[in-house]
């Protein structure tokens, strides 16, 4: 009896699982179908729009014109940002160039001071004044210092010269970018003048029709 009861219970559970699976919605491919449906609707609308009379397309042409103007403004703004970034980089390089120039001047000043001390000691030694051994040591020490200062000067001079080259290169880029921005602004101004003239002409035509 118990065995029959267990068998019946197992059959009932299996049946409930089958019913549950059958009732579940199938989502496979639904996303693809939705995309295809949207694309199809878009093509259908474009096809319908092609049948719209030219007289009824004026608002659309105006909207398309506004979009082109907005896109042109975005492009111009982007070029102006690029110009500002180049000018900012130029300002930083010019500051570094000035700093290297100052450092190089200070190094040359230090080297000149050391050279004076060397020549004074050499003059003392050549005049057989002071302690000969001490004179030789002091002169050697100062010459070593001079070499160290000269080595620093060579490194700073290299930075100074390369920075100058970078500034010259960047200046050319900025000049070219300024020309690009000016051309775009001139084109925008000409287009704006043309648009105003066209609107004025249309307005005059409408007034004549009313009369």
The CA dihedral of 162, 164, 167, 171, to the nearest 10 degrees, is -130
Of 182, 158, 177, give the one whose Cα is nearest residue 88: 177
Of 74, 72, 46, 41, give the one whose Cα is nearest residue 60: 46
pLDDT of residue 187: 86
Split at pLDDT 50, 70, 90, the class of 199 is: low
pLDDT of residue 98: 97
| Greater model confidence, 192 or 84 | 84
pLDDT of residue 24: 47
CATH assignment of 69-193, among 3.40.50.20, 1.10.287.1700, 2.40.110.10, 1.10.150.80: 1.10.287.1700
pLDDT digits (tens, 9 = 90+) for 32-52: 555 555 566 656 677 787 888
Global pTM reads: 0.63
pLDDT of residue 156: 97
pLDDT of residue 203: 59
pLDDT of residue 207: 57
Work out the angle between the directed axes of helices 132-210 and 58-126 (0-180°, nearest 10): 160
Does the structure show a pLDDT above 90 at 155?
yes
3-state SS assignment for residue 108: helix
Q: Is the dihedral of CA 105, 110, 111, 116 positive or negative?
A: positive
Q: What is the DSSP string of 120-183?
A: HHHHHHHTT-S-HHHHHHHHHHHHHHHHHHHHHHHHHHHHHHHHHHHHHHHHHHHHHHHHHHHH
SS (H, E, C) 3-44: HHHHHHHHHHHHHHHHHHHHHCCCCCCHHHHHHHHHHHHHHH
| Greater model confidence, 203 or 22 | 203
Which residue, chain included where needed, has tokens 């000035």?
Answer: 98
pLDDT of residue 57: 83
pLDDT digits (tens, 9 = 90+) for 73-98: 999 999 999 999 999 999 999 999 99
Share of the chain above pLDDT 90, in %: 53
């Amino acid at each position: 009896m118990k065995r029959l009861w267990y068998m019946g219970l197992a059959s009932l559970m299996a049946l409930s699982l089958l019913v549950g699976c059958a009732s579940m919605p199938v989502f496979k491919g639904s996303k693809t179908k939705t995309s295809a449906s949207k694309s199809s609707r878009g093509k259908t609308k474009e096809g319908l729009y092609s049948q719209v009379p030219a007289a009824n397309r004026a608002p659309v042409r105006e909207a398309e014109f506004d979009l082109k103007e907005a896109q042109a403004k975005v492009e111009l703004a982007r070029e102006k940002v690029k110009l500002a970034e180049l000018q900012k980089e130029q300002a930083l390089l010019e500051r570094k160039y000035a700093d290297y120039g100052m450092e190089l001047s200070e190094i040359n000043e230090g080297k000149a001071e050391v050279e004076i001390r060397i020549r004074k000691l050499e003059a003392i030694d050549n005049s057989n004044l002071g302690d000969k051994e001490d004179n030789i040591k002091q002169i050697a020490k100062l010459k070593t210092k001079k070499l160290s200062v000269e080595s620093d000067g060579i490194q700073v001079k290299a930075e100074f010269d390369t920075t100058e080259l970078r500034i010259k290169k960047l200046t050319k880029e900025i000049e070219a970018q300024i020309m690009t921005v000016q051309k775009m602004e001139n084109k925008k101004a000409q287009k704006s003048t043309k648009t105003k003239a066209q609107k004025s002409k249309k307005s005059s035509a409408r007034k004549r029709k009313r009369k």
